[in-house]
Amino acid sequence: MSARMFSSSAARRTKVAVLGAGGGIGQPLSLLLKQNPLVSELSLYDIRGAPGVAADVSHVDTPSVVKGYAADKLEEALQGVKVVVIPAGVPRKPGMTRDDLFNTNASIVRDLAAAIARVSPSAHVLVISNPVNSTVPIVASTFEKAGVFDPAHIFGVTTLDVVRASRFLSQVIGAVPSECDVPVVGGHSGATIVPLFSQTKVGKAVAGEPYAKLVNRVQFGGDEVVKAKDGAGSATLSMAYAGAKFADCLLRALNGEKGVVTPTFVKSPLYADKGVDFFASLIELGPNGVQKINPVGNLTPEEQKLLEACLPDLKKNIDKGKAFVA
Ligand code: NAI
């Protein structure tokens, strides 16, 4: 049997839910997931607008079935899902940090996580809602409380930082982004975002002021979008792209593909001795989610400094998330 036949006929296809499917990220993300051949069914939920988005996306000519669920149909939306992506919640406005979203988004994410823990406790949960550094611990603690926490199943989606690092580096050195595969470790906000340019062939050469500017642009690239949208929200299209990219990595790994390795924010032993028990690093994904957590590898002195600045901030964000559920 050819590889092509295997991928189209024997592949295990997965039911995926998007919670917050009516939003700026949720809509294009749903469209991109509709195009993924590993998705069998798409369950689109939002407190407003999901049935309309579902009717629209369902006309795209790929085999997956799309259903929309209104505000009171969360549990139905979660029946039988294997992967749940969460872009529900409010986005930033100019001048706001991601942490400023905590008060609104923490309870939204906690309530959605509690429903997933009840209805589909073995689902893989991909958290996009900010502040990711806190919302991932919120999902984990909520699952823990329900007695169903599996650390291999909960992911913070940091792929947009990876996508930005790749694109911005490619612009600085005049390469194509596919040659600029930058591991981004740490967390997902400001100084907790640690791009490791030295770990790419082409990134090693960037030094001095261009290097400092590049790091700053990756850490605060989201602000460029928030400012340009001028009150209308934050990154949605590039985020939908990044979310679909990460979901595809996970779906391929769940489907048995070997060697799928990508940065994502997970429960991690790497810096647990410093009180930081969630951390993004290169993670090998497998048929049960997180398969292997890779250490950050060799760091330059500059990268070591970035990591030292990341850890205390990250610890605060994680502790805040845990305290919210406790
Ligand atoms: P949006 O406001 O356009 O959409 C959010 C959607 O969530 C709305 O349709 C709203 O009705 C829905 N919603 C609110 N409460 C809900 C609930 N309890 N259940 C289900 N749906 C609910 O916002 P946007 O731009 O789509 O951003 C969503 C989140 O993603 C924000 O928290 C934002 O900060 C975050 N984000 C994360 C990024 C990352 O790299 N991880 C990048 C960009 C944004």
ipTM of the complex: 0.99
Percent of the chain whose predicted confidence (pLDDT) is above 90: 94
* Average pLDDT score over residue span 273-288: 98
In the reported structure, the alpha carbon of residue 25 is separated from the centroid of ligand 1 by a whole-number distance in angstroms of: 7
Cα–Cα distances in angstroms (integers) from residue 192 to residues 8, 46, 54, 153, in the given order: 40, 30, 36, 22
Cβ 19 under 6 angstroms from ligand 1: yes
CATH number of the domain located at residue range(s) 14-156 in this protein: 3.40.50.720
Q: Is 239 labelled a binding residue?
A: yes
Q: Is 288 labelled a binding residue?
A: no
Q: Do domains 14-156 and 158-325 have the same CATH topology?
A: no
Coil vs helix vs strand at 269: strand
In the reported structure, the alpha carbon of residue 46 is separated from the centroid of ligand 1 by a whole-number distance in angstroms of: 10
**pTM for this prediction:** 0.96
Percent of the chain whose predicted confidence (pLDDT) is above 70: 97
> Structural domain boundaries of the chain?
14-156, 158-325
According to the model, what pLDDT value does residue 11 have? 65
* Confidence class for position 93, pLDDT limits 50, 70, 90: confident
According to the model, what pLDDT value does residue 6 have? 44
* Average pLDDT score over residue span 253-277: 98
* Confidence class for position 13, pLDDT limits 50, 70, 90: confident
188 is catalytic: yes
Cβ 172 under 6 angstroms from ligand 1: no
Cβ 239 under 6 angstroms from ligand 1: yes
Q: Give pLDDT tens digits for 125-168.
A: 999 999 999 999 999 999 999 999 999 999 999 999 999 999 99
According to the model, what pLDDT value does residue 9 have? 43
Protein residue closest via CA to atom 27 of ligand 1? 91
* Average pLDDT score over residue span 220-228: 96
Convert 236-256 to b/e letters by CB count within 10 Å (16 or more is b): bebbbbbbbbbbbbbbbbbbe
Strands 124-127 and 154-156: parallel
Is the pLDDT at 266 greater than 90? The verdict is yes
Protein residue closest via CA to atom 4 of ligand 1? 23
Q: Is 105 labelled a binding residue?
A: yes
User: Exposed (0-12), middle (13-18) or buried (19+): which is 116, by Cβ within 10 Å?
Assistant: buried
Q: What share of the chain is helix, strand, coil (3-state, %, to 5)?
A: 50, 20, 30
Q: Is 23 labelled a binding residue?
A: yes
- What's the alpha-carbon Rg for the chain, to the nearest Å? 19
* Average pLDDT score over residue span 283-293: 98
Cβ 180 under 6 angstroms from ligand 1: no
Mean pLDDT of the chain: 95
Cβ 296 under 6 angstroms from ligand 1: no
Fold of 158-325: L-2-Hydroxyisocaproate Dehydrogenase; Chain A, domain 2 (3.90.110)
